[in-house]
Amino acid sequence: MNIAKNTVVTMHYTVATTDGTQIDSSRDGEPMVHLQGSQYLIQGLEDALNDKVKGDTFVTEVKPEDAYGERHEQLVQHVPKAMFGDNEVKVGMTFRASTDEGEQTVMIVDETEDEVVVDGNHPLAGMDLTFDVEILDVRAATDEEIEHGHAHGAGGCGHSH
């Protein structure tokens, strides 16, 4: 069966930057199970999966516009440390912030005695990514999986909708 919309794909993957720095991999654990067409994956990887079959292995490069987008320097801001009150702040912490466009996740990327630098870009924004993928299984999604918008495990959905 070819991978297409509303198929469930079981796969192992490794994602790295184009210089070879590994970012994540499923190969030392459980494979990823994904409902194709659910927009759970970044667009570039989902597109690369189309028409593949069980047993296929491939490597694909994904440009920022089909991954986590370009970096936007206006999303990096210096804010007074006093805005955090008594809360401890450390580089690498993420939190939700209210912006003119609504709630947004930001990461603390630097801190001084008086201010904190936060970055609203996704940590992988602006990066070309390389995915090394092995397709372990492809099957038709059930009506319930399609309705819920995600693949279910052997025991069913695992949560209520």
Q: Which helix (H) or strand (E) holds 143?
A: helix 143-148
pLDDT of residue 154: 57
Q: Which helix (H) or strand (E) holds 146?
A: helix 143-148
**What ranges do the domains of the chain cover?**
7-68+125-148, 73-119
**What's the CATH fold of domain 73-119?**
Thrombin, subunit H (2.40.10)
pLDDT of residue 101: 72
pLDDT of residue 149: 87
- In angstroms, the Cα distances linking 37 to 48, 80, 139, 148 are 12, 42, 14, 12
Bridge-based pairing state of the strands 76-80 and 94-99: unpaired
Per-residue pLDDT of the chain (161 residues; tens, 9 = 90+): 999 999 999 999 999 998 999 999 999 999 999 999 999 999 999 999 999 999 999 999 999 999 999 999 999 999 999 888 888 889 999 988 877 777 888 899 999 989 999 999 999 999 999 999 999 999 999 998 988 888 886 545 555 55
pLDDT of residue 157: 52
Alpha carbons 143 and 139: distance in angstroms, whole number: 13
Q: Does domain 7-68+125-148 have CATH number 3.40.50.150?
A: no
